[in-house]
A and B are shown apart, each in its own frame.
With several copies, the nearest count.
Chain A
């Protein structure tokens, strides 16, 4: 028998610490796949952020620099400027990128830094136990919005793929989901396209991936996956918001 689906070689053969049904694992796999696809793993330097994905180096078989919370784009800027011939990517959560790290991602994008940004939006602060995130949906109950997010006080969910797309320095910005095989295949393609922007020096590329956090949503994995389709996608439209040539 011939294998038709196998673990990417850039992904280490170890169990993850992610909760059952957490799609960080799946997104890791897609990133590793893209690395394999372009054969860039030997040149890759990953920049980890603080969040449930902090253990990047445990799962990817690459060199990794860990950034302070929110600062991965600045660290990646330092890395990529110092080693322009390496392949550099960041991997950040929504608390990390859209709250504390707002400034860093916007200015890195605006400078057109030549790294690839993977942004995992699960509408909550996963690692710290489920606080309201900048992307939490209106009415979403979290540790710090026990009565549900009140947009008049807490503000509106941030649509980061659109914000990034609006910056002159950004070359590619897309939002994908991984809640169904179809969306997963589209996500895989988007990540590869984003990688190609770096490889071909076309500019800064940004991939927002909608993801489930069953634990902090207080749901089973299956319910959580359903919420992505029912509640997240209607608010966070899937699509390509910028694609410079």
Chain B
């Protein structure tokens, strides 16, 4: 149970994060962002499956991803 936040304004749509996620939780949007890129999105429903391994964030060249983990006992 974890949360991945992708800063849409920073994302350049390179899709490298999608390769990195072992669970294939991240996908590319089909709507251009302000910079003219198709950004990556982390669908809210994926929170469940996300292990907060942060491999997606490790891989992002633009440091556009922040990863959060539920603290012990925290509600989903």
- Interface bin, chain A: 20 to 34
Given A5-B57, A181-B55, A222-B16, CB of A20 within 8 Å of CB of B68? no
A185 touches which of B3, B52, B58 (Cβ 8 Å)? B58
Please give 18 more A-B residue pairs, beta carbons under 8 A apart, in addition to A6-B66, A181-B59: A1-B70, A1-B74, A3-B67, A3-B68, A4-B68, A5-B54, A5-B58, A5-B66, A7-B66, A18-B61, A18-B62, A21-B16, A180-B20, A181-B55, A185-B58, A214-B14, A221-B14, A221-B15
Given A2-B68, A29-B63, A222-B14, CB of A20 within 8 Å of CB of B37? yes
- What are 30 A-B contacts defined by CB distance under 8 Å? A1-B2, A1-B3, A1-B69, A2-B71, A3-B66, A4-B2, A4-B68, A4-B69, A5-B58, A6-B66, A7-B63, A7-B66, A11-B63, A15-B9, A15-B10, A16-B62, A18-B61, A20-B12, A20-B13, A21-B12, A22-B61, A26-B59, A26-B61, A29-B63, A180-B59, A181-B20, A214-B14, A221-B14, A222-B15, A225-B16
Q: Which residues of A contact B66 (CB under 8 A)?
A: 3, 5-7
| A interface secondary structure, majority | mixed
A7 to B62, CA, bound (A): 10
Are B63's CB and A25's CB within 8 A?
yes
Are B71's CB and A15's CB within 8 A?
no
Q: B25: CB under 8 A from chain A?
A: no
Q: B65: CB under 8 A from chain A?
A: yes
Q: B19: CB under 8 A from chain A?
A: yes
A181 to B52, CA, bound (A): 14
B5 CB → nearest A CB, Å: 9
Are A5's CB and B67's CB within 8 A?
yes
Q: Which residues of B contact A54 (CB under 8 A)?
A: none
Q: Which residues of A contact B52 (CB under 8 A)?
A: 4
Q: Which residues of B contact A3 (CB under 8 A)?
A: 66-69
